[in-house]
Chain A
Amino acid sequence: MVKLTIDGKAVEVEAGSTILDAAKKVGINIPTLCHMEMKDMCIENKPAGCRICVVEVEGRRNLAPSCATAVSEGMVVKTNTIRVLNARRVVMELILSDHPADCLVCAKNGNCDLQSMAQRLDVTEIRYAGVQSTYREDFSPSIIRDMDKCIMCRRCETMCNEVQTVGALSGVNRGFEAVVAPAFEQDLEKSVCTYCGQCVAVCPTGALTEVNNTNRVIAALANPKKKVVVQVAPAVRAALGEEFGLEPGTLVTGKMVAALRNLGFDSVFDTDFAADLTIMEEGTELLDRLTKHLNGEKTHLPILTSCCPAWVNFFEKQFPEFKDIPSTARSPQQMFGSIAKTYYADKIGVDRSDLIVVSIMPCLAKKYECQRDEFKVEGNPDVDFALTTRELGGLIKRANIDFNSLADEDFDKPLGESTGAGVIFGVTGGVIEAAVRTAYEVYTKKTLKSVDFTELRGMEGIRHATVDFDGLELNIGIAHGLGNARELLESIRRGENKFHAIEIMSCPGGCIGGGGQPWHHGKQDVLKARAKAIYAEDVGKTIRKSHENPYIIKLYEEFLGQPMSDKAHHLLHTNYFDREVKFEVKK
């Protein structure tokens, strides 16, 4: 333990703690801007670049960045001397002097860390105005880069390179022209970017934002010739409340359904239904491969989940040699779209071109996924628009709906009925737990005593567990965050694989921490609360196993036949491509 004094207050902290941590302990909140730390998830960004958190340390010539300066015995720190206040203010003015002042029309207005810091530091004029650095805008199917708003906090780089190990973003150019960009300053679309959106999730300003589709959805809803249905991903209901000032982890399923209905959607459906369908297909595929494996036939094990579109992008771009290992099952979003535009469209007698499918997703990669050619029929996409949780929040506000006073409503039938297994798709470990619930019963022909496989849950980046399938030991691996996924893939590459099945979700915490969720501002407790809410919804469901969903059973009876039937293959499965990014260096 180390003893020191901060602003005259004695404090004792563990050796290795930073001044920032120590100050917090005695109720001193030093302002920070570039710094971000989510300890349990091993996410830390402290380049000490913004210099907002500087403090005076006795005996030191210059001011010290409190986020990156370790405490030492007897240290005397002052956080609010006139020297510090002046320096902090000038630095803030400098940062603002190189930032567009279009806050009122910025996508991050009201959610911008820079804006709130300017307020907090009471900056009312910029004495050091001058030219601003400019950079071209870059539009991709999911993410917009407006680097004029970049403050070089490097959080996106940390997420992209260290946490996700995607390596799409890094600092380029020098001095005033320094900016974060893909290799060779290519467009994001041409880079190794997976659209996981974690850069957007942590960007403190409006430099990285999602492609906003709300106006197109409003136009569709206003078109009398179109039937517009909506599906909502499991993680949305555990986070949407935050957009309306509710505590993180508040479940708002019923209000969300009511709001969507108020918005004018003809039917409000649940992606959880499609998640149950995914389990039927993916679970069957797992058992199929497992049986082949046990019979000594050639097959691909481990089977990898394929629900997460950023993960699909990741292995297509960085591990193309593994493109035959993941399950061929489409993601729930795409299964839903496919069924909606065939089975459901037939049922209600509407042509697929007059049926608009909107999805509400916690995710930015879903925007890209629904535009993939494989998921179009004669140019008509199975899912027309993917909105994020945040966009839905904005839509509800614009429609003058008082969200918090809405009475709970239920999803529509038939594509709105789901089980607890479908719900837990939204959190790390959930997809594989859902699969195990079904696969166990199908394989052993016995009923599970308990459906709660707590050994598969948690926030550790890489987890493994063994599930006893009545004598057959099934080894399961779980990774969330693409960096952890890479580690697992590399162990497979080295031939160290011991797993039968692996679940991978790109975002830390799973979809609850997706790039399209309400801003968590670097607080990991927010993610934990959302996970808790998801499991609460699961427990609250009467049916908690996908294969017991009566509407799923009916769908197979009326339309698909068996899981992995030809029709199911055609509508619910896909294949993957080698999309390795190669650069030609022109000489």
Chain B
Amino acid sequence: MADYKFHLLVCGGTGCHASNSDVLAENLKAELAEHKLSEEVQVVSTGCFGFCEKGPIVKVVPDNTFYTQVAPDDARDIVEEHVIKGRKVERLLYVDPNKKEQIGDSKHMDFYKKQLRIALRNCGFINPENIDEAIARDSYAAMAKVLSEMTPKDVIQVIKESGLRGRGGGGFPTGLKWEIAANNEADQKYVVCNADEGDPGAFMDRSILEGDPHTVLEAMAICGYSMGADKGVIYIRAEYPLAIHRLKVALKQAREYGLLGTNIMDTGFNHDIELRYGAGAFVCGEETALIRSMEGKRGEPTSKPPFPAQEGFNKKPTNVNNVETFANIPPIILKGSDWFSSIGSEKSKGTKVFALAGKINNVGLIEVPMGTTLREVIYEIGGGIKDGKKFKAVQTGGPSGGCLTEKHLDTPIDFDNLLAVGSMMGSGGMIVMDEDDCMVSVAKFFLEFTVEESCGKCAPCRIGNKRLHELLVKITEGKATKKDIRNMRNLCHVIKDTSLCGLGQTSPNPVLSTLENFYDEYMEHVENHNCPAGQCKALMRYYVLPDKCIGCGACARACPVGAISGERKKEHVIDQHLCIKCGACLEKCKFDSIIVK
């Protein structure tokens, strides 16, 4: 990369790609060619920068200028102003929403200041479709070290000592998992990469695969070496076409370079990897369901034991890790377990990638050391709540996580702390809610997802979640009783206690945590048939303010169900039994005389 004067790094992740970043990159190349600068300035389509809120992103190296929301037409300005004249294109610079000032380069952005990127280290730096760039950033160096200097036992020991725990949600110690798989003798073993990222809003695995596919391939080979598996399978959801494409390119290049296949680096070690596509069932992220799906069976979990390490894919010992876990492996091998275990909290080492979403200024993908507090993530990295609203809750861990409140903001985030306060790490989804969000509706929303995604195998998950959802609907319609709340709480505990797999064992979390932290809001729905956040449509009431109404009749004409009556130039009244809460009257009234309560 050193030969060029400038590198224009254009984000080629799915988000920016969808906003025409590929056209932008082509335009930049064309502009450079026009100015005969192609030899001096390189345009690189990279993986995700994480700052998806303001994409498409263009970063200029070496000065780290960070352009946001760049349109294809902005290519001319970037080349003519920045590259040629050395003047930053100010209108494209990032503006800090709180300080209201322009930030010239990424190093000074709050979004990046507190981040520590291990799993995402290459995302946004390299062209993921060019293995040379990956190698230049140390890809396959860990594999070389493992194959030339370490025994399989050494590798497992390093991973165990690093304290790395599975990033897919369970937090099981990775080294131990490898060791169990290594100790099970068999004629064939498998390494499986779980790339069936299913949490709505979470996209860290996709970003890693799109931005740095070689790290996953390398880590899988290292895992294969440690446990004695010469076959690897990446189970990836078919809805990730860009990630699939980049994996295919990476696999081809790695094979061409002799970094996958037979007799890798002349060490006699064989390892090759194939892709299997998932059809997008959330439950197939559960490892036993994933394995069944890979075998062509219905994707549904089975009882453990037997664990996949004993009897997995094709009934052979199988080690399943998720993408982010694998992405941590090469740095651990290269930098050592002490380095890794020095980062993070006591029982959760290293970093974790979170997908920030919801009512937060900086929506995107971030990676922070374990032990960072929720407050730091939400207010410093995330830039606080949108539109200056009040923070209400943050839901961590995907659809089965819990909703945490103000009082949890200083909790250091790690596997155990989140569990202790009734939520979980999950795959790293983080959804922020503000004062306008109704917590009953939030719980209902997540339950809708789990009801849809339950495989239907075990009764408590199949029927229990459905009933739970029905109870929540009842509450949001103001039809529930206190007894319903008691029954609902009991149902939550039984579903957790009796469900077969992690899906059902965690699906009631949004309900339990909101019941715990927002009990009054539930009771307001139940006892007073009122939704304090004004979100529950069935509980809304439209009223005409008598002193403001001039009797123009516009509202009555707009009402599709004839619920509004009143004489001309006299006060109008809304019949609450007829009103369907469509809001048409509110829109039509020019005198602010209609209110919603």
Contact = CB atoms under 8 A, between A and B. Distances in A.
Contacts of B463: 94-95, 97-98, 128, 176
Contacts of A176: 451, 454, 456, 462-463, 466
A415 interface: no
Contacts of A172: 298
23 contacts: A47-B302, A50-B458, A51-B460, A51-B500, A62-B496, A62-B498, A70-B305, A87-B497, A91-B464, A94-B460, A97-B467, A128-B467, A128-B487, A152-B459, A152-B462, A172-B298, A174-B281, A174-B283, A175-B454, A175-B466, A176-B451, A176-B454, A177-B456
Nearest to A89: B494
B458 A48 contact: yes
Given A48-B500, A62-B497, A176-B462, A171 B303 contact: no
A174 B451 CA distance: 9
A99 to B, nearest CB: 10
Given A86-B494, A171-B457, A127 B487 contact: yes
B467 A152 contact: no
A529 interface: no
B282 to A, nearest CB: 9
A105 interface: no
Contacts of B487: 127-128
B505 A62 contact: yes
Contacts of B281: 174
Nearest to B470: A130
A66 to B, nearest CB: 11
A170 B499 CA distance: 21
Interface of B is mostly: helix
Given A62-B496, A68-B303, A91-B460, A175 B467 contact: no
Size category of the B interface is 20 to 34
B511 interface: no
Nearest to A92: B459
A49 B498 contact: no
Name the residue among A83, A127, A131 with the largest chain B CB count within 10 angstroms. A127
A49 B451 contact: no
Nearest to B488: A128
A52 B463 CA distance: 14
B458 A171 contact: no
A65 B300 CA distance: 17
Contact of A151 (B305, B459, B494, B500): B459
A47 B451 CA distance: 20
A128 B460 CA distance: 12
Interface in B431-473: 451-460, 462-467, 470
A49 B500 contact: yes
A87 B494 contact: yes
B543 to A, nearest CB: 33
B263 interface: no
Contact of B457 (A95, A97, A128, A152): A152
Contacts of B491: 90, 128
Contacts of A128: 463-464, 467, 487, 491
Contacts of A151: 459
Given A95-B463, A128-B491, A174 B455 contact: yes
B102 interface: no
* Nearest 4 pairs of A and B residues by beta carbon: A178-B456, A175-B454, A94-B463, A90-B494
Contacts of B576: none
Interface in B483-526: 487, 490-491, 494, 496-500, 505
A173 to B, nearest CB: 7
A174 B490 CA distance: 25
Given A90-B460, A98-B466, A173-B456, 17 more contacts: A47-B457, A48-B458, A49-B500, A50-B459, A65-B303, A68-B303, A86-B494, A90-B464, A90-B491, A91-B498, A94-B463, A94-B464, A97-B467, A174-B283, A176-B451, A176-B466, A178-B462
A175 B466 CA distance: 9
Interface string A128-165: 10110000000000000000000110000000000000
A174 B458 contact: no
A65 B302 CA distance: 12
A68 B496 CA distance: 18
A145 B122 CA distance: 56
A151 B496 CA distance: 20
Interface string A54-72: 1000000011010011100
A175 B494 contact: no
Interface in A427-448: none
A439 B298 CA distance: 49
A174 B454 CA distance: 6
A177 B455 CA distance: 9
A118 to B, nearest CB: 13
A49 B301 CA distance: 10
A172 B455 CA distance: 9
Contact of B467 (A49, A94, A171): A94
B208 to A, nearest CB: 28
Name the residue among B454, B466, B490, B500 with the largest chain A CB count within 10 angstroms. B466
B484 to A, nearest CB: 9
Interface in A103-138: 127-128, 130-131
B497 A83 contact: yes
B451 to A, nearest CB: 6
A152 B456 contact: yes
Given A70-B305, A83-B497, A128-B487, A51 B459 contact: yes
Interface string A336-351: 0000000000000000
B108 to A, nearest CB: 46
Contacts of B467: 94, 97, 128, 130
A111 B409 CA distance: 57
Nearest to A127: B487
A171 B498 contact: no
B458 A86 contact: no
Given A91-B494, A175-B452, A175-B466, A51 B458 contact: yes
A86 B305 CA distance: 25
Contact of B490 (A69, A90, A131, A173): A90
A201 B490 CA distance: 36
Contacts of B305: 70
Contacts of A97: 463, 467
B429 to A, nearest CB: 20
Contacts of A47: 302, 457
A131 B463 CA distance: 10
Given A48-B500, A97-B463, A174 B456 contact: yes
Contacts of A87: 494, 497-498
Interface in A301-333: none
B453 A49 contact: no
A62 B496 CA distance: 7
Nearest to A177: B456
Contacts of B300: 171
A61 B451 CA distance: 23
Contacts of B466: 98, 130-131, 175-176
A178 B455 contact: yes
A97 B462 CA distance: 12
Interface in B38-74: none
Name the residue among A62, A69, A170 with the largest chain B CB count within 10 angstroms. A62
B512 to A, nearest CB: 15
Interface in B283-308: 283, 298, 300, 302-303, 305
Contacts of A86: 490, 494
Contact of A175 (B298, B303, B462, B496): B462
Contacts of A68: 303
A227 B138 CA distance: 92
A172 B496 CA distance: 24
B490 A175 contact: no
A286 B556 CA distance: 91
Nearest to A172: B298
A65 B458 CA distance: 11
A91 B456 CA distance: 14
A126 to B, nearest CB: 10
